[in-house]
Amino acid sequence: MRNLSFKIILLILASIIIPISSQAKAPPPNPEGRLTTSRIHFRSGDVTILPMYFSFLDQVSQILFDNPDMKVRIDGHADSLESETDNLKLSEARADNVMKYLLSKGVASERLTTKGFGDSHPITDSATKENRVKNRRVEFTIIRQEHSGSVKEIKGKLINKPWQYLSEEERQVNRNYLSEKLQNLSKEERLSFLLHLLDDQRLCFVLRDVLKEIGLLSIERLREIAADRNRGIRIRSAALAVLAKLKDRQTIPLIEDDPILMIHTPAYGCIGGETYKFHENFLELSMVGMNEAERITFLSEKLKAGEQTSVVVTKFISLYKKAVPELIRIVSNKENTFLARNDALFALKQIGDKAAVPVAMNILKDEEETDSLRGLAAATLGSAGDGSVIPTLEHISRTWKPKVKGIYRVDKDAKKAIELIKERIEVKRQLEEGNGVSP
């Protein structure tokens, strides 16, 4: 079984190197019983990796990520043009440079070793220029491969559904399986493997668990992920959610000037789902450690400043009646911006608390207020008012005249509010009479 694993890895590596170099043929097992798989080549007397091999080395790093138990020795070689001492140094430097490249891609250092052979292991004579090119090489030798699961295997066994559609039992299956695959790896290997999983779109259904594991291994790396503007917003948003759970406020300065947070919409406006989640998770992170009163004050300042208004209003609504007094203060103060008052009144409408009726009545009657705000006031009365406000609504529905024709229809808002109030009154009557509620 172990030899079979070697052959599979050999075939994978050989298949990705062949398009780059026709000389990259997989040789037989070396005298140590290990498989030398593929090679890259260098200019004469030079140790610099040629750009044409970067994509190949990226694929090598991918294979190492996919196979977390694999360890590789990087073997450097030289032609016979220089002295024995110089050739040994060249071969060692070539191997070291390749290892540095793989380390820069996140491969754990303990999974890589290097060895320089000088010109002692040629694959052909150095009589011609072409042959000398073949001998100036770096090869990869697998020195350990214990099969315990690759990315492809994880994908095959985990329950492949979007996170929100997983039941709690299914989520636990995924967590258990991921934990099993990580338990025999060192801290650095685990971090490298998790970072690879993070970038695999096929494995987004374990994203939160992966990010949580990364946060537990390295909170600094998780902060980097959240702040990395080159990453997808979904990953960054999920990282913020995990950081909020970990109560890590040190991330806030890294994010607060992010362009995504500059996207503002009114409470009822349209904002993309991932953008909304990013705003929401950052706001939650910003409120870590605050008590309820502090959260209300914080949200109030955000709303008055016009920052993250959609999410702020949602947070206010989630506080329900506890948020009503502050929302009323925002709406009542005409020195606040129109948007702040408008969004606060929208939150009051959604909460539907009767304490909002007086301020809504004042706005509805005030002809100096905008039609937009007056219409929203009528809707607030529809959600929070009782029969006592119907006469005012009826008056508005008959007498209202638009300030700007065709944009807002306060009369229609008032009529709709009357319908809602009458419907609630009828339901209440039937319940009190014990007749139930008509369908």
Give the pLDDT confidence score for residue 264 in this predicted structure: 60
3-state secondary structure of 116: strand
Is the same domain home to 158 and 142? no
pLDDT of residue 412 exceeding 70: yes
Is the same domain home to 25 and 138? yes
pLDDT band at 391 (very low <50, low <70, confident <90, very high): very high
pLDDT band at 376 (very low <50, low <70, confident <90, very high): very high
298-351 pLDDT per residue, tens:
999 988 888 777 788 888 888 888 999 999 999 999 999 998 999 899 999 989
Is the same domain home to 23 and 34? yes
142-170 pLDDT per residue, tens:
775 544 445 555 555 667 666 666 677 77
Q: What is the DSSP string of 25-54?
A: PPPPP-TTS-EEEEEEE--TT--PPPGGGH
CA dist 147 and 134 (Å) reads: 32
CA dist 93 and 397 (Å) reads: 85
Is the same domain home to 42 and 169? no
Among 316, 351, 386, residue at a domain's last position:
351
Give the pLDDT confidence score for residue 329 in this predicted structure: 95
The tokens of 62 are what? 């991918």
Out of 28-32, 239-243, 387-391, 421-425, which region has the weakest mean confidence (pLDDT)? 28-32
Task: Name the amino acid, one letter, at 72.
Answer: V
In this structure, are residues 237 and 277 in contact, taking their beta carbons and an 8 Å threshold? yes
Is the same domain home to 266 and 321? yes
Is the same domain home to 138 and 155? no
Among 99, 129, 147, residue at a domain's last position:
147
Identify which of 148, 150, 61, 147 has the alpha carbon closest to the alpha carbon of residue 98: 61
Is the same domain home to 373 and 324? no
Give the pLDDT confidence score for residue 25 in this predicted structure: 36
The model carries a pTM of 0.57
Question: How high does pLDDT run on average in the chain?
Answer: 79
Among 95, 115, 147, residue at a domain's last position:
147
Tally of structural domains, the chain: 4
Higher pLDDT, 192 or 97: 97
Is the same domain home to 282 and 223? yes
pLDDT of residue 378 exceeding 90: yes
Q: Which H/E stretch holds residue 72?
A: strand 71-76
Is the same domain home to 407 and 419? yes
Is the same domain home to 184 and 244? no
- In SS3 terms, 131-165 reads as HHHHHCEEEEEEEECCCCCCHHHHHHHCCCCCHHH
Q: Which H/E stretch holds residue 99?
A: helix 84-104
CA dist 386 and 200 (Å) reads: 55
pLDDT of residue 7 exceeding 50: no
Range 216-220 contact pairs with CB under 8 angstroms and sequence separation of 24 or more: 217/187, 217/190, 217/191, 218/191, 219/243, 219/246, 219/248
Q: Which H/E stretch holds residue 199?
A: none
Is the same domain home to 19 and 130? yes
Q: Which H/E stretch holds residue 349?
A: helix 338-351
Q: What is the DSSP string of 271-332?
A: --HHHHHHHHHHHHHHTTT--HHHHHHHHHHHHHHTSSHHHHHHHHHHHGGGGHHHHHHHHH
In this structure, are residues 68 and 189 in contact, taking their beta carbons and an 8 Å threshold? yes
Is the same domain home to 107 and 194? no
184-240 pLDDT per residue, tens:
788 888 888 788 777 665 555 667 778 888 888 888 989 998 898 888 788 888 888
Range of the domain at 134: 2-147
pLDDT of residue 122 exceeding 80: yes
For residue 376, the 8-state DSSP code is: H
